[in-house]
Chain A
Amino acid sequence: MTFMTFLLPHRFKKLGAVIAPIGLVLWFSMQWGVVPRILSFVFGESTGGQNSSPYYLAHVIVTIISFFSFLGGVYFVTFSKEKIEDEMVQRTRLDSFQFAALVQIVFIIIGFLAMVLFKDPGMEGLMLFFIGVIFLFWLCFIGRFNYILHIKIK
Chain B
Amino acid sequence: MKNYLKEERTIKQLTQVQLAEMVNVSRQTIISIETSRYIPSVLLSMKLANALGKKVEALFELEKSD
Task: Classify the interface of chain A: helix, strand, loop or mixed.
Answer: loop
Which of chain B's residues have a CB closer than 8 A to the CB of A149?
28
Q: Counting CB contacts under 8 A, is A103 at the interface?
A: no
Count class of interface residues, chain A: 10 to 19
Do B28 and A87 touch across chains, with their CB atoms under 8 A apart? no
Do B26 and A84 touch across chains, with their CB atoms under 8 A apart? yes
Q: Which of B6-14, B36-44, B53-61 contacts A (4 or more CB under 8 A)?
A: B36-44
A152 closest partner in B (C-beta): B37
Do A88 and B43 touch across chains, with their CB atoms under 8 A apart? no
**Distance in angstroms between the alpha carbons of A89 and B40 in the assembled complex:** 11
B11 → A minimal CB distance (Å): 23
Knowing A91-B38, A153-B37, say if A86 contacts B29 (CB, 8 Å): yes
Do B26 and A86 touch across chains, with their CB atoms under 8 A apart? yes
Which of chain B's residues have a CB closer than 8 A to the CB of A83?
26
Do A87 and B29 touch across chains, with their CB atoms under 8 A apart? yes
Q: Counting CB contacts under 8 A, is B25 at the interface?
A: yes
Do A86 and B37 touch across chains, with their CB atoms under 8 A apart? no
A59-104 contacts to B (CB < 8 Å): 82-84, 86-89, 91
Supply 13 A–B pairs (Cβ within 8 Å), ascending by A.
A83-B26, A84-B24, A84-B25, A86-B26, A87-B41, A88-B25, A88-B26, A88-B28, A88-B32, A89-B29, A91-B38, A153-B31, A153-B32
